[in-house]
Structures are given as structure tokens and as C-alpha cells.
Structure 1
Amino acid sequence: MVTVPARRVVLLGGGFSMDEDGLLDDWLLTHARGPRPKVCFLPTASGDAPGYVDQFLTAFRPRDCEPTVLSLFRRELDDDALRDFLLSRDVVYVGGGNTANLLAVWRVHGVDRLLREAYDRGTVLCGISAGANCWADASHTDSFGPLAVLRDGLGLLPGSVCPHYDSEPGRRPSYRNAVSTGALPAGWALEDGVAALFADGHLEAAVTRRPGARLFRVEPGGQGAAGERSVPCLPLGAASRGGAGSG
């Protein structure tokens, strides 16, 4: 009997570029398949910024994993090698930056199709900010300057995503308005410090490294408003050590 791997996406409201304690990234790695997972960082949304790459390598080299970086602005792999490389990763970790630019570059290089294939094969897809937005059908983004709607995500996670829900002025009312008017479908809003694991499009676990930080389900409500439901998050001190489970 053939075992079908779980198809998983992790939305991160923090990580190596934001948090000194490393709890979110430690928790993320517990969900990778097998020991010493191969973790690929995709810094496309930042234009492959060297400083961002250095941050990732500094954070992940001491961990029990094999960190690598895939640059598309200075691409070195042909199509076959690119496919082999991405499909051999256990985790693909996407950095923050410009969501619209990220998706455009991926599509030019065929990375969008390869990530779908990796997802179907059990690679954990994750990221922060733009790296969280990209997996959904649609997202709330500052890719065009002012906060706006982006509706052409990869569609691996149904609905929409909004990062930085508590830390960037205007995010919360703007996202709620977009959902209430139908400009964005219902979705998930992450406060900084939260991470959410989805299996086959369904929420499986939500954790937080910061007391009081929350994950929200935002849906259209009555009288042209959006309803907001807080989802319980497991504090990461217990979660990570107990073994449980700009954008």
C-alpha cells in the first residue's frame, strides 16, 4: 500500500530574522520529515539580499539540519538540476519582502510548479511575511506601496493570508475591510510571534513564542463587517520542548 505524504504549509509570524530565541524555527524543524532535514532558503522576495542570506545561514548552520540557499537573481542551475534540487529538500523556507515580485520571479523560472510538486511529495513549505502570503489563494500585501489586495497566490492554502496583523499600522482594519467587501476571501491573520501549521489546507496546530500573540480566522460577517475569531495557540516553551506539535 502506497502511503500518501501529508501536504503541509507553515505560516510564520517570526523566525530567524525577527526573533532572538529561535523558538519558531526550532518548532518548524520538528515537523520536517526524517532526521537532519535539508532546509532551502528562498530569499526571492528581497531580491536575494546578501545580508538576509547571511542571517539565515548564521541561524541554521548550528542547528541539526542541512541549510542551503537558492538564488534566482543569480541562477546557476538548469531546469533539470533546479527540479532535482527542490524536490530533494525537506523544508522550503521563504523570506519576506515583496510578495508580487516573488510570485512573478518564481513563475518566470518555473519554481511555482516545482514547489507544487514538492508540496505533493511531502516537503514542508513555510515562510514569513511575503513567504507566508505566497502559499494562499490571495493575500493582504504592501507590494504596491499602500496596503492592497493580491489575488494570484499559489493556491496551496485556501483563502487569504494577512501577516503582521498587530505590528504594522493599518493592517487589521484594512484586511477586515477587504474580507468584508469580498475583495479578499476569508482567511488567516497572524500576529507577530505566532506560527500555524496546515495539513492538506486544514489548520492542524497553532503555537506562539510571545505571550498573548494570536492567530485569527477572519470571515465576512453581517451588515458589511468582517467577523474575527481568535484561535488558541500553544505556548512554545511547552510545544517545542515537549515534541508536540514586509509582505
Structure 2
Amino acid sequence: MKQLIALGGGGFSMEPENPLLDRYILQQSGKTKPKICFIPTASGDADNYIARFNEFFEKQECVPSHLSLFNPPTRDFETFLLEKDIIYVGGGNTRNLLLLWREWGLDVILKKAYDQGVLLAGISAGSICWFQEGVTDSFGDVLEPLQCLGFLEGSNCPHYDGEIKRRPSYQEMVASKSIIPGIATDDGVALHYMDDKLEHIVSSRPSAKAYKVYFNKMLIEKELPTRYLG
């Protein structure tokens, strides 16, 4: 079964005292001690980001590692990644992430991993990247649409309640057809896809939600059922 979990915000990097989403990800692997690999490309492989990942996941029932493109642990990325149970992509600059992945061939390897049943997950840029299109601030302080990998249909907008410009910008893009319709997620919300179909929406915060945003004679924002994990 193919699985992908896209976080609109939260997790170890945004709410380190709230482990609900990250533990949910670990549980979905079906392994008692899953091998989880962090890919921090979007942050420029920031040392402090990798340290925060290790600080959290070394305390969990798992085997953590990370893949740096600036200091590669191996030349054989495919073997390195395909032996993992979970691949977790961090936030940052989505455009730079996509450019570097394509240059290194990671986009192809990650699609192979996904098709072979490695659970893919990610937050912010690590959420946007899997969809056909996403809302990004990669180009500066203005939010813009971005063509992404297309593992999942539709568009994606994270931080829907966490950044003041996200909601109006995404709605305007959908209404003007500058981005295809899709799903927006508040901070603390994760979309869980199984075999390319959205099966579960879970949250680490009681009031956080996900929304289907589309245009049908008028802009429509439909709140989706979200299960609080607490």
C-alpha cells in the first residue's frame, strides 16, 4: 500500500512538546521500530533542524537518520532510501527543494520509494512538494503558485491559520484559476493518503481543521472532518 502524510504545520519542528502527529506517522509504518529518514533539503540542510529531528526521534521507538545533499552519506541514494520505512521531508524553500531533487534524481527515487510502499511524510514545503501544485513563499514575501511533483492530485496550502496571508491568497488563486483547486491545512493538521486517496485527516490541536477549496460559480471553502488525536 502506498502511504503519504502531509502536515500543514506542527510536528517536532513547530510544537516539540506535542508529539501527536509525529507518533501518528511512526505508527502508520506498521513496524515496531521503523527506520525513518529525514530529508532537510528545503532548509539548506540546516544543522539545527537536523538536530531537532534527532532530539525528538531518538527518544521514540524508531531508527532515525538523515539524507543531506550538501554532505551526502553515500553516492547510492536509491539503496539508502529504499531500505527505509518512512521518509520525512522538512520545511523551507520548496522551489529550491524541487530544483535540487531533480538535479540529484531524488524526485525519481522518491516516486519509486512511494510506489514500493515506503511511507512518505513532510511538513510545509515537505507537504506542498507531493501535490500537483502548491502555495509557496519561495520567491520572497509574496505567496505564489508552484508546480510540484504531482504524486497527489490537486493543490495544497499549508499554514492556513498560521500565517495571515495564506487563506486569502489561496482563495484568490483558486478563484482566479491561477492554481488548481485543492486542500488547505491549518497548523497541526495532517492529511493521510492511502493509495493516492485521502483516507484520514488528523490533528494535534483540538480546533485545527482541513478545508477543500474550489470554485463553482463562487469560491467555496468546505471544512473537512478532522480527528483530534489528543
CA deviations on 1:207-247 (whole Å, 9 max, x unpaired) are 1111111001111121xx3211111111102xxxxxxxxxx
Written as runs of structure 1 = structure 2, the 5 A alignment for 1:170-189 is 170-189=165-184
Indicate yes or no: 2:207 matched with 1:231: no
Tell me the SS of whatever aligns to 2:134: strand
The Cα shift of 1:21 comes to: 1.6
Structure-1 separation of matches of 2:118 and 2:215: 32
The answer for the alignment partner of 2:143 in structure 1 is: 147
Picking from 37, 44, 47, the partner of 1:47 is: 44
Q: Is 1:63 aligned to 2:57, yes or no?
A: no
Deviates more, 1:141-150 or 1:194-203: 194-203
Shift, 1:34, TM fit: 2.1
> In the TM superposition, what is the alpha-carbon distance from 1:50 to its structure 2 partner?
0.1
1:106-117 equivalent positions in 2, closer than 5 A: 106-117=101-112
**Structure-1-length-normalised TM-score:** 0.90
Aligned-pair RMSD on alpha carbons?
A: 0.9
1:132 aligns with 2:130: no
**Native 8 Å contact 2:5 2:190 kept in 1:** yes
CA–CA distance in structure 2, aligned partners of residues 52 and 33 of structure 1: 26
For residues 143 and 183 of structure 1, what CA distance do their matches in structure 2 show? 17
Structure 1: gaps spanning 5 or more residues: 1-5, 238-247
SS at 1:114's partner residue?
Answer: helix
Matched, 1:21 2:18: yes
Distance 1:76 1:29, change over 3 A: closer
2:2 pairs with one of 1, 7, 10: 7
Distance 1:175 1:201 in 2: 23
CA distance in 2, matches of 1:158, 1:201: 8
Question: Structure 1 vs Structure 2: percent identity of aligned residues?
Answer: 46
Q: Distance in 2 between matches of 1:226 and 1:170?
A: 17
**Deviation by residue 1:166-224 (Cα, 9 ceiling, x = unmatched):** 111111011011111111111110001111101122111111111111001111121xx
**Partner Cα distance (1:55, 1:34) in 2:** 23
The 3-state SS of whatever aligns with 2:222 is strand
SS at match of 1:122: coil
Scaled by the length of structure 2, what TM-score is found? Answer: 0.96
